[in-house]
Amino acid sequence: MIGGPAPPMAEFGGLAVSTEQICRSLHDYRKKLSSTSDALPLENVRELERELSSTARVLAEKASRNETAMVKLLDRYSERLVSMLDERIADSVAREVRRNVGRDEEGSG
């Protein structure tokens, strides 16, 4: 397996499930917010802004760590692939040189 074991299936209370739930809730909240004429207390607005800002910051940090890990993994496999290609090219060149040397010896002998 590339990069270790596969993540566990979505389980009750798992991060993937929580993410789906919060996305649905935010979508519903946004629809309700845009369709109502009710006034929203300033304290509630500030609390929501703080929570959204904090969540966005943590989400960005997590995404950055995941991206960094993926880049490192891809670099490692890229280096391995280049090394394997180098070996195959070197083998191919060596075979071709041996073949050419064999022809030269046959022609001069």
Measured CA to CA, the distance from residue 16 to residue 12 in angstroms comes to 9
User: Would you say 3 and 73 are in contact if contact means Cβ atoms under 8 Å apart?
Assistant: yes
Residue 29 token pair:
């909240």
Q: Which amino acid is at 5?
A: P
Q: How confident is the model at residue 69 (pLDDT cuts 50, 70, 90)?
A: confident
Q: When comparing pLDDT for 88 and 8, which is higher?
A: 88
Residue 75 token pair:
């670099």
Q: Per residue in 15-37, pLDDT tens?
A: 899 999 999 999 999 999 999 99
The reported pTM is 0.54
Measured CA to CA, the distance from residue 93 to residue 87 in angstroms comes to 10
User: Would you say 26 and 19 are in contact if contact means Cβ atoms under 8 Å apart?
Assistant: no
The pLDDT score that the predictor gives to residue 8 is: 52
Residue 58 token pair:
């943590």
